[in-house]
Structure 1
Amino acid sequence: MSEVRNSKRIWGWWWFDWANQPYNTLLLTFIFAPYFAASVAPDPVTGQALWGWMNFAAGVMIALFAPILGAIADNTGPKRPWIMFWSLLYFIGAWALWWAVPGADSSTIFWILVAFGVGMVGLEYGIIFTNAILPTLGSKAEIGRISGSGWAFGYLGGLAALVVMLLFLAENEQGVTLIGLAPLFGLEAAAREGTRSVGPFTALWYLVFIIPFFLWVREPKRQKPVSRDVVRAGLRELGHTLKSLPGQSSLLAYLLSSTFYRDALNGIYAFGGIYAAGVLGWSIIQIGVFGILAASVGAAGCWFGGRFDRRFGPKPVIIVCILVLITVCAIIISTDRSMILFFPVEAASNAPDILFYFCGCMIGAAGGAVQAASRTMMVRQANPARMTEAFGLYALSGKALSFMAPGLIALATTVTGSQRLGVSPLIGLFLIGLVLLLWVKPEGENPHAWEPEHAA
């Protein structure tokens, strides 16, 4: 009976990934971001700049408060009430994107960016608290597989949501969807209502599919009483953790490493759709098809990555994935409409498109697998008694320098005058992350201290 109960907890935890993935797939990467830059902002260059500043501001907000909230949460008992609150922010932020009308005035653009940032904060904080539940789902040998399978399930959720959007809602320049239909529910194509509906669609998707998480994921009973002054206790323990970091060389090296390679990966995600639209001239529909392919291969990559994680540990998986992503960046830098790998091609050739689709598959597979393995690695490096705080620090490491990728891309684009060469700094960020992994111990500082808790 206990095995059945824990199996339901695992499935409930996986449903969280399924529910939240459309914010990344539909809004951040493949549908809303290129739509905003191309149709809502005054021009694509301004749109890319505004999008970068919004991501920067949301990243600062997450970085500043994630470790504090995690430390407080470790002193307040159940995490589910916190996750409910972050879910509310997610829902409100996503729904409000409906008002992102084409050619919006500056005031509307400002509030649309604020709404997206609110939803992003809800998404990221929710992930911190649900990631902290991961060690309670299985043994140390099993959490790699559980994490990888959960990320794969999330990719499938993002894929399913993207397919629905492209087939029935998002319209192209001719006002029809991928299969030639007018947007459903009488949505007006001329006002881009089909594409704008991606916000409410993402919000409703989350509202429906988060239900199994709250029904099935019960938390372990606390072994120590909840502190009365939870804020002071949380901040005191966070301060102790931060002071102890220099003495925890493996954890510190891992946090620094993940700062760089995860920022580079986020740079690929945040600007991939904008890049495809600008360099290759792709439409929203084409970018969506690219997303379907990337998510499909990504789900398989996460699943296989979880199995390799279980057998070899997360560190080798992370290293291989970073090398794949470096290779992808090198291919992108050397390819545009006129050339492939610096070799010239005919202007009408579709070879650059095919190669970029291939790159999308590699980004999906390696990107998903490295994120799944990264949270497994965090579990191995962290203090089991301070897991939410640890994932708060993990979020901090992912956001503390989140301005690097967009800032360096903007600088390189400005200096070179080339959107293609603008992504070249990502290679440097990946390399720094790879080098820092040399100081990361695969099993953490104290491999024998880690023991999973289980819900009663």
Structure 2
Amino acid sequence: MRSDDAQMPPGVPAPGSTPSAPTAHPPPGSFPPVTRKEIFAWCCFDFANSSFTTVLVSVVFVATFTNVLAPAESADSLWGLAIFIAQLVVVVLSPFLGAWADIFAAKKKLLFCSYITCVVFTASLWFFGPGAWQMAMACFIIAYIAFSLGENFTASFLPELATPANIGRISGYGWSFGYLGGLASLGLCFPLIGGGFTAGNLASLQLTNLVVAVFFAITAIPTFVFLHERALPRPDRPAAGALFVGIWAQVFGTLRKMALNNGLRTAFGSFFLYMCGVCVIITYSTPFAIKALGMQGKELILLFLIIQVTSAIGAFLFGFVQDKVGSIRTLQITLVIWTLVVIAASMVCTGTQFMILGNLAGLVIGATQAASRALVAQLAPESQHAEYFGLWALFGKLAGGCGPLLFGLLIGGPEDYPFALCVTTVFFLAGLVWLSIGAEDLAAQTKRVAETGRA
């Protein structure tokens, strides 16, 4: 890829802007064209923050919380509640902070604040044992809020870094880098897991939180050195309270507009459904492997190390598939695979069977999210990037809270996992059906935006 392939098109506003007040931009030539170094720096944040979602959300801390810290009779539902609370806060804050970032040209500054907050509260989890599970849950919620807001801020740079021709590849690069970061951080934690997810190994399990905090802190540095903030602050800066009320009024206006637009209704409605399923898999795979299949310690970590490799490969390869067949067809392919994988997962009995299915899921998990992110960028007219990415964040975070909360409420014991997984299949099937029914409207809108710049 040449460096000029990803040059920011003239007039593209920074994500986070409101449609009624265009973002102020530096004069032409104030910034050099987007280079490979800047794209690499953007990918570095995916590499860094994946240590949090892999080690804490998907593998080690979730296992520690549900097996050691929280009361056994309510551990799974408490974990789902923690995820739901964090995502609900993110849903409320995201539109306001997105607009704030645009008005004050502060995407990079807010990304830095979210990064520092996540690092600090991740490190704080080192201190809490079974007698302080409430504090551990609270600190995790704060760290997860910061992590999720950081995901929004880093995604908002994508339209500035990519063109319609390479957006699938660049989005895929970010996800594949993320899985490599998850692989590296999980590898660093591997020696600490040998004693299993038990009270006797708690000191080592707590140390993994410090490993993640340091890993995240160091590997995200290139992002803040090389990634540019291209917007300028606006001269009209409303008070914070007026901005919050105004932004939420705009959000409801955008939702009404979405309800009248077949393409948008299909894109975000199906996205919410299948992301409920994806988020369930991310947050409950480890409890399922431990409680239903009896996997422990290094066996489980080895499994997830392998899955990180297949996830990175899948995200990278599907980026090229997406540029070849389009985001819609790519999503349809991944959702068919997801449906089959989750149906099979409800019937597995051994760790070997789970490993096979886990690797199949790994091939499509990053591809699903990368294709979704790219589709939003393709649907958004130049003057409405903020509006569309705001909807993407809104529905993604709602799914990230609702899916795990429902799944956790269905789990009373290990014997309930097969039924809960069958319910999860409905999310993927419903998302696939809705996406397929509205595929023509979606394709027509992406073509119209590419040709005319208007929805």
Seen in structure 2, the aligned counterparts of structure 1 residues 362 and 306 have a Cα distance that, compared at 3 Å, is same
Tell me the amino acid that sits aligned with residue 173 of structure 2.
Answer: S
Matches within 5 A, 1:87-102: 87-101=115-129
1:71 and 1:389 in contact (8 A); partners too: no
Measure how far apart 1:404 and its partner are. Answer: 3.6
2:273 and 2:428 in contact (8 A); partners too: yes
TM-score by length of 2: 0.85
1:165 and 1:198 in contact (8 A); partners too: yes
Measure how far apart 1:316 and its partner are. Answer: 1.1
Tell me the amino acid that sits aligned with residue 209 of structure 2.
Answer: G
Q: Could you tell me which of 240, 262, 271 is aligned with 1:258?
A: 271
Q: Could you tell me which of 132, 138, 148 is aligned with 2:172?
A: 148
1:447 equivalent in structure 2? 450
Is 2:43 aligned against 1:20? no
Seen in structure 2, the aligned counterparts of structure 1 residues 195 and 171 have a Cα distance that, compared at 3 Å, is farther
2:77 and 2:411 in contact (8 A); partners too: no
SS at match of 1:218: coil
CA distance in 2, matches of 1:140, 1:77: 24
CA distance in 1, matches of 2:148, 2:433: 27
2:97 equivalent in structure 1? 69
Q: Could you tell me which of 100, 111, 130 is aligned with 2:154?
A: 130
2:144 equivalent in structure 1? 120
Identity across the alignment (%): 25
Q: Could you tell me which of 287, 300, 305 is aligned with 1:287?
A: 300
1:217 equivalent in structure 2? 227
Q: More displaced, 402-411 or 55-64?
A: 402-411
Seen in structure 2, the aligned counterparts of structure 1 residues 2 and 322 have a Cα distance that, compared at 3 Å, is closer
SS at match of 1:229: coil
Q: Deviations over 1:202-242 (max 9, x none)?
A: 111111011100111113245x9443217546626545433
Unpaired runs of 5+ in structure 2? 5-32
1:321 and 1:366 in contact (8 A); partners too: yes
Is 2:35 aligned against 1:6? yes
Tell me the amino acid that sits aligned with residue 116 of structure 1.
Answer: F
CA distance in 1, matches of 2:388, 2:128: 36
TM-score by length of 1: 0.85
1:186 equivalent in structure 2? none
Tell me the amino acid that sits aligned with residue 447 of structure 1.
Answer: A
CA distance in 1, matches of 2:253, 2:100: 13
Matches within 5 A, 1:328-347: 328-336=341-349
CA distance in 2, matches of 1:5, 1:70: 22
SS at match of 1:31: helix
1:302 and 1:369 in contact (8 A); partners too: yes
Unpaired runs of 5+ in structure 1? 176-188, 337-351, 452-456
Is 2:199 aligned against 1:172? no
Seen in structure 2, the aligned counterparts of structure 1 residues 419 and 307 have a Cα distance that, compared at 3 Å, is same
Measure how far apart 1:331 and its partner are. Answer: 0.7
SS at match of 1:257: helix
Q: Deviations over 1:259-295 (max 9, x none)?
A: 1101110001111000000111011322211111111
Q: Deviations over 1:118-147 (max 9, x none)?
A: 111111111111111101112111011000
CA distance in 2, matches of 1:120, 1:363: 23
Q: Could you tell me which of 302, 306, 330 is aligned with 2:315?
A: 302
CA distance in 2, matches of 1:25, 1:255: 26
Q: Deviations over 1:394-427 (max 9, x none)?
A: 1210222545423432454459952222211111
Measure how far apart 1:162 and its partner are. Answer: 0.7
Q: Deviations over 1:325-368 (max 9, x none)?
A: 111111111222xxxxxxxxxxxxxxx22221011101111111
Is 2:418 aligned against 1:390? no
CA distance in 1, matches of 2:301, 2:50: 15
Which of the two has greater helix per residue? 2
Matches within 5 A, 1:409-420: 409-414=407-412, 417-420=415-418
Q: Deviations over 1:69-109 (max 9, x none)?
A: 223323222311111111122112211111232xx12xx11
Q: Could you tell me which of 236, 240, 262 is aligned with 1:227?
A: 236
Q: Deviations over 1:41-89 (max 9, x none)?
A: 232x422121111111112111222223223323222311111111122
SS at match of 2:295: coil
Measure how far apart 1:450 and its partner are. Answer: 5.0
2:326 equivalent in structure 1? 313
1:369 equivalent in structure 2? 367
1:32 equivalent in structure 2? 61
Number of residues paired by the alignment? 416
SS at match of 1:112: helix
Seen in structure 2, the aligned counterparts of structure 1 residues 415 and 85 have a Cα distance that, compared at 3 Å, is closer
Q: Could you tell me which of 356, 380, 383 is aligned with 2:354?
A: 356
Seen in structure 2, the aligned counterparts of structure 1 residues 227 and 121 have a Cα distance that, compared at 3 Å, is same
CA distance in 2, matches of 1:201, 1:153: 19
Seen in structure 2, the aligned counterparts of structure 1 residues 333 and 46 have a Cα distance that, compared at 3 Å, is same
